[in-house]
Amino acid sequence: MPRVGEDLRQYLQAEAMPHVWCPGCGHGQVARGLATALDRLALPLEQLVLVGGIGCSGRTPFYFNANAMHTTHGRALAFATGLKLTRPGLTVITTMGDGDTAAIGGNHFIHACRRNIDITAIVFNNGIYGMTGGQQAPTTPRGARSVTTPLGSIEPAFDIVQLALAAGATYVARSTTFDFDELPTLIVDAVRHPGFAVVEVLTQCPTYYGRLNELGDAVAMLDYERDLTLPQHAITKEGLAGRRPLGVFRREVAPEYTAQYAELCARQAKAS
């Protein structure tokens, strides 16, 4: 639980307010989760770089008092990879949307998972393209409406956790904006993990996804998130029954990219 009276303002950039997010948007809750995590991690903010993609989630770095790199659509991880390799001492966290991660940046995402470079990817998944006005995303569930699937989507959705697991990410977790007290714990975990870490957060978009699919307001959508998911410890012998599991799916220590690269350089320098 966030502590009562906890002051997270020191992590936020007042100059960048007001933010672009709609009333009721879940992204503010994810940002709060990140700020709480930063408070617990006690990192020097000048040694932290938040790298954003494009879309509502991509704006997140602007609102923090850390270094912010707002990149291109889908490619935050490719920028972050070059930066982290050059400055392994920096803490690098990407904020990307579901379109960033699984559509236009799908290639960068799977390769970042495969390389196991020490970057934390926070994936804001609201199942829709918010900034451009409610188009179908690769995470839009089959049957769901968007402005480009007015009759309901006929495509199966990507499961970002499964995608990350299959591609080799060494830390993979999922949470929701309903589980706001668990999210900072997962982010702290992910940042401390010595390798590539993915935290998918299901977040509500009442403006588009909620309205187009008649899910009600932001509070009603939080209930919808609760009913759509199941913490792993609550899974019974009946199984998931169509719900999405939450929690940590993998935490595995494997050779990390920048550490391996440093070893390789040291070996070559010694040989010559």
Partner 1 sequence: MKLIQGNEACALGAMQAGCRFFAGYPITPATEIMEWMARLLPPEHGVFIQMEDEIAALAAVIGASWGGAKAMTATSGPGFSLMQEHVGYAAMTETPCVIVDSQRGGPSTGLPTLPAQGDVMQARWGSHGDRAAIVLTASTVRDVYEVTVAAFNLSETYRLPVVLLLDATLSHMRENVELPALPVVNRCPPSGADFQPFAGPGFQAFGDGPPIVVTGLAHAASGRPRASDGPNLDRMLRRSIARIEEADDVRRYRGTALEDAEHLILAYGITARSAAGAVELLRREGVRAGLLELQTLWPFPERLVRDLAEQVEDVVVAELNLGQLVLPVRAAVGGAAPVRHLGRADGTLFSPEEIAAAVHTAGDREVARA
The letter for the amino acid at 30 is V
Q: Judged by CB under 8 A, which stretch of 78-86, 140-148, 150-158, 191-199 contacts partner 1?
A: 78-86
- CA 54-131-109 angle, to 5 degrees, is 35
Q: How far apart are CA 220 and CA 2, in angstroms?
A: 22
Please provide the DSSP assignment of 90-112 as one string: SEEEEEEEHHIIIIITHHHHHHH
- If the CB atoms of residues 79 and 178 are measured against partner 1, the closer one turns out to be 79
Q: Judged by CB under 8 A, which stretch of 1-9, 70-78, 198-206, 215-223 contacts partner 1?
A: 70-78
> In whole angstroms, how close is the CB of 76 to partner 1 at the nearest point?
9
By CB under 8 A, tell whether 125 contacts partner 1. no
- Phi, then psi, of 50 in degrees rounded to 5: -95, 125
Q: Computed from CA positions of residues 78, 83, 88, 92, in that sequence, does the dihedral angle turn out positive or negative?
A: negative
- If the CB atoms of residues 90 and 220 are measured against partner 1, the closer one turns out to be 90
Please give the distance of CA 96 from its chain centroid, rounded to a whole number: 6
Binding-site string for partner 1 from residue 210 to residue 229, where x marks contact by CB under 8 A and - marks none: --------------------
> In whole angstroms, how close is the CB of 58 to partner 1 at the nearest point?
10
Which has the closest alpha carbon to 163: 227, 114, 217?
114
Angle subtended by helix axes 27-41 and 183-192, to nearest 10: 50
- If the CB atoms of residues 54 and 160 are measured against partner 1, the closer one turns out to be 54
Binding-site string for partner 1 from residue 247 to residue 266, where x marks contact by CB under 8 A and - marks none: --------------x--xx-
Residue 187 DSSP one-character state: H
| Total residues at interface with partner 1 (CB under 8 A) | 40
- If the CB atoms of residues 26 and 52 are measured against partner 1, the closer one turns out to be 52
**CA-based end-to-end distance of the chain:** 54
- If the CB atoms of residues 85 and 228 are measured against partner 1, the closer one turns out to be 85
Radius of gyration from C-alpha coordinates of the chain: 18
- If the CB atoms of residues 86 and 236 are measured against partner 1, the closer one turns out to be 86
- If the CB atoms of residues 35 and 48 are measured against partner 1, the closer one turns out to be 48
Residue 82 buriedness (CB in 10 A; 0-12 / 13-18 / 19+): exposed
Residues numbered 16-55 forming contacts with partner 1, rule: CB under 8 A: 16, 45-49, 51
H, E, C per residue of 203-245: CCCHHHHHHHCCCCCHHHHHHHHHHHEEEHHHCECCECCCCEE
- If the CB atoms of residues 66 and 190 are measured against partner 1, the closer one turns out to be 66
Residues numbered 103-122 forming contacts with partner 1, rule: CB under 8 A: 107-108, 111
Q: Judged by CB under 8 A, which stretch of 58-66, 152-160, 223-231, 238-246 contacts partner 1?
A: 58-66
Under the rule (CB under 8 A), what is the footprint of partner 1?
A: 15-16, 45-49, 51, 61-62, 65-72, 75, 78-87, 89-90, 107-108, 111, 261, 264-265, 268-269, 272
